[in-house]
Amino acid sequence: MYRFPVLIADDDATARVRLSHLLDQFGYRVVVCNDGAEAWRAIHRPDAPHLLLLDWMMPGMDGVEIIRRLRGEEDAQSGYFYTLLLSARDDPEDVVAGLEAGADDYLIKPCHKAELQVRLRAGRRILALQQQLLDARDRLAREAKTDALTGVDNRREIERMLRHELDRAWREGRPLALAMLDIDFFKKVNDTYGHLAGDEVLRETARRLRGCLRSYDRIGRYGGEEFLLLFPGDDAGDARQLAERLRSSVAAAPVDSSAGVIPVTVSIGVCALPAGVACEPQRLIDAADRMLYRAKEGGRNRVEVTRLEEEARQGCAAAAEG
C-alpha cells in the first residue's frame, strides 16, 4: 500500500518521536532527520519527499535557512517542496517572518493532532495541483513538437533538430545523412478510399518507419504525405541501407484500413553530408529533394542517394556548360 512520504527535521529527539508516531498513524511514510544539515542532504536525494515539516530552531542550519535556500534553487525539474515550519514561537511577527522566508504554513509546537492532520492534507492538495500543472505543461510542450496525426515530430521540430544535428556533426567531425520520403500516389489513395483512409495510411506508414529507426534517428512530418528523416553518423552507404529498410518495411504489406486493404509504397531521396563539411539546412534538404524527384522519375518505390560533394560538382559542371 502506498504511503505518502513526509520529511521531518527536528533536533529535539522527543519531538521527532512524537511527530513520527503521529504521521505513522495518519498513514504517511516518514523520513526522519536529526538536524538541518541532514535534512538538506535528504532533500537533494532523487526520492526526496516534497512535503516537509521543519523545526525553526536547529543547530547549524535552521528551518528558515533551509526554506530560503530551497526557494532559491527550486526549478521545474526538482518540483515544488511544500514546507510547514514548526516553532514554539507564537508571536504574530514570528509567524509573518516564517511565511515571508518562503514557508507555506506555520505550526506552533506542540502540534495539535487534528490540526496537524488537516494541514498535511492541505499540503498534499497543493502538491497534487502543482503536479497537475507540471503534467499539463509537459503535455503542451510535447504537443507543440508533435504532429497530431502521426505522432512523429512536426515540421518545426524536425527543422530544429536538423539545425541541431548539423551543428553537432560539425563540432564532432561526424557525417550526417538526411532523407526525404514521400508516399507514392497518395492523392490517388485519398481520391479512391477517402481522406479518413488516407489518414490511416499516414499513421501506419509513420508507425512502420519508426519501427526501423534507431534511438538517435529522427523523423518528422514535413508536409502532407512527405517525411523528413535524420540519420546522425551515417555516410552514404549506411544511409542507403537504412533507407532501403524503411522502403521495404512500408511495401512489405498493404495497409488494412477502414475502407479496405490499401497497397502502399514510398520513394526516398537521401543526401549524405561528409564529416567535417559545413552546410546550411536548406542546402541539404534541397539535395535530398532532388534525389526524391529522381526516385519518382525512376519508377517510384525506390531509393536514390547522393553525397553533398557530388551535388556541388554537378552544380559546377552545369554552370560551366551554361
**Quick check: 209 and 229 in contact, CB under 8 A?**
yes
Residue 112 DSSP symbol: P
230's grid cell: 535524420
* 54 and 83 Cβ atoms separated by less than 8 Å: yes
Q: Which helix (H) or strand (E) holds 44?
A: none
Cell of 283: 542546402
Closest C-alpha among 214, 281, 279, 278 to residue 241: 214
CA 269/CA 306 separation, integer angstroms: 8
CA distances from 122 to 49, 279, 296 (A): 15, 56, 64
Give CA–CA dist 239/214, Å, rounded. 12
Is 304 one of the annotated active-site residues of the chain? no
- The active-site residue, picked from 165, 225, 304, 311, is 225
Catalytic residues: 225
